[in-house]
Amino acid sequence: MKFRRAAGWEPHLERLRLAYPVRWRVAAGLACMVAAVGLQLAIPHGIAYAVDNIDRFRDGGIPFHLVLTMLVVVVLYAVTSMARFYLMHTAGYRIVARVRRRLFDTIVHQPIPFHDQHHVGELSSRLSADVMALHESLTMGAGNALRSLTLLLGGLAMLLHLSPVLSLPLAVFIPASLLVGKRSGASYRERSREVQSSMAAAGKTAQEYFSNVRLVQAFNQQDGAARAYARTVRRLLEVSMANARMMAVYQGLQSILTLLALVVTVCLGVHLIAQGVLSIGELTAFILYASMVTDAASSVAEFWNSWMRTLGATDRIFALLREGQPPLAADTGRRLGGAIALRGVRFSYPERPGMTALDGIDLEIAPGEKVALVGPSGAGKSTIANLILGHYRPEAGQMLFDGVDAAEIGLAAVRRHIAIVEQEPSLFSGSIAENIAFALPGREVTREELVAAARLAHAHDFISAFPQGYDTVVGERGVQLSGGQKQRIAIARALLRDPGILILDEATSALDAASERLVQSALDTLMQGRTTIIIAHRLSTIAKADRIVVMDDGVVRQQGSHAELMRQPDGLYAALIRNQVQHQMPARILHPASP
């Protein structure tokens, strides 16, 4: 128990919660390993017997039963070694697959503030490089180390049995070798944390430049990108080299200890033969056992290092796993009517605790009402959408749905009734069908349902025009589609979800007139009969809303219809409209009632 704790295994083993198929593999692998070690330990004994009886065998040769026994031992040794290798390796693969799955599960369930803090490239590196380090230790290292440990103990028993006096030098060398291993292990752990975080930094840089490759090329920044990546790789190289230097020193020390042990044993052995207390066969067997034992000791020490390295690399994996999934409030199954209320809501982003993003917001939205949030950049419009979606919790005040506190309803139940159409729609690299069906987790979506949603979103015609139709692959983040097409797919997705509450982050970039009309008409269909919160940028949308909420600096400055707000010429809304009209919009939008 104490050892497991010292090795840092305890919490990790608990976290791994080995499944039944893994347990039986480990148990069977251990049994095979003990058998293989037992057979391996029998071999020097056989050799000693042969050496000591060489005179008897000189005439008639080695008797048949002896040859047969040796053959059986060799075959059994080969079979048990093979089985051990297979069982331990496959158990390792299963454990690593499980760790990977659980890590992904944990990360994907973490609340948004966690994702604000962690870079995508860094998290991907945890899943790939860090898990790979664990993989190597578990599949290659752990099996070998256990075998070596058993061999070490068995070998020591044989050495003591053969000659306690001759074993004395080993009583010094073996602990020394294990001590060197333990010392180096501690430094390895520290170093490998550095190696893994440098690796994560390199991954982060590469991921960032790859995902913005169009911008990089448009600004001729390819060389700049290469230099930035080279800097991170240089750092990685430096820490890896330092690690290798240290490893070389420890390996050298181990080899010296092993060779010294052998030399001293041979010298002492010869002396004991001369005194007549040891036979040549026994010395031969002793040397064979001693080399097994010293090899095993250095391999245990080596594994210790590699395990420490693994712990260094996987500390963060296990820290993440320990964090566990945040308790997702059970889906209470409550149906929402669409009324939303924010009462005295104050909020600062966890990353910027000093800056108030929302400062006492009071907002009542009736079921089916269309509310446009307007205001200058940074006013807090998206923050309100984030709070309604439950991405963050208000610091003070209440978020109510149908008059019930959001916490009481549960995040999953709230989200089940919400759909979002983002400013720049997020699409996955799969097919159009998969992207639309994403709206309904946990159930198969029929082709008819997909087509119906796509028709309402004015997306069916362009989708059908593709040779692969709904199975057309859209490329990473939908790069193979136009802006208007992406938006209509996002609208089809929202329509399929059939939400009571809709959050619409209006795209700022204008589409061409025909595309704009199609998107607008699709949005009008989507908004029908749903509570809609629009983060609005276009006057056409703003003017159509039932109510306009004008925000500035985290507070609501004005509320009312377009006409009501325009009657306050000194108000922020009138100023915003004047500003927009001056810069871009035709005057008729200002007065939608007039033809």
Ligand X SMILES: Nc1ncnc2c1ncn2[C@@H]1O[C@H](COP(=O)(O)OP(=O)(O)OP(=O)(O)O)[C@@H](O)[C@H]1O
Kindly list the residues in this chain that would bind ligand X in the complex (CB under 6 A).
116, 349, 351-352, 357, 375, 377-383
CB of 413 to ligand X, least distance (A): 25
CB of 340 to ligand X, least distance (A): 17
Minimum CB distance to ligand X smaller for 86 or for 349? 349
CB 35 within 8 A of CB 263: no
Residues 6+ positions from 268 with CB-CB distance below 8 Å: 165, 166, 168, 169
CB 395 within 8 A of CB 346: yes
Determine which helix (DSSP H) or strand (DSSP E) holds 557, and give its type and residue range. Answer: strand 555-560
Minimum CB distance to ligand X smaller for 75 or for 355? 355
Residue with tokens 């490239």: 121
Minimum CB distance to ligand X smaller for 317 or for 550? 550
Minimum CB distance to ligand X smaller for 303 or for 392? 392
DSSP assignment letter at 517:
H
Minimum CB distance to ligand X smaller for 113 or for 175? 113
DSSP string over 308-365: HHHHHHHHHHHHHHHH----------PPP-S-EEEEEEEE--TT-TTS-SEEEEEEEE
**How are strands ordered across the β-sheet holding 358-365?**
358-365, 340-347, 396-401, 404-405
* Residue 84: closest CA among 26, 154, 18, 138: 26
The pair phi, psi for residue 361, each rounded to 5°, is -90, 130
d(CA 521, CA 188): 62
Minimum CB distance to ligand X smaller for 154 or for 380? 380
CB of 381 to ligand X, least distance (A): 4
CB of 592 to ligand X, least distance (A): 23
The number of residues in the chain equals 595
Q: How far is CA 296 from the centre of its chain?
A: 35
Residues 6+ positions from 500 with CB-CB distance below 8 Å: 335, 336, 337, 338, 367, 417, 418, 530, 531
Minimum CB distance to ligand X smaller for 56 or for 352? 352
CB of 357 to ligand X, least distance (A): 4
CB of 22 to ligand X, least distance (A): 40
Minimum CB distance to ligand X smaller for 188 or for 573? 573
Minimum CB distance to ligand X smaller for 90 or for 382? 382
CB of 353 to ligand X, least distance (A): 10
CB of 583 to ligand X, least distance (A): 16
CB of 417 to ligand X, least distance (A): 22
For residue 324, give Cα distances in angstroms to 103, 125, 132, 186. Answer: 9, 19, 21, 27
CB of 380 to ligand X, least distance (A): 4
Minimum CB distance to ligand X smaller for 394 or for 469? 394
**How are strands ordered across the β-sheet holding 370-374?**
418-421, 501-505, 531-535, 370-374, 547-552, 555-560
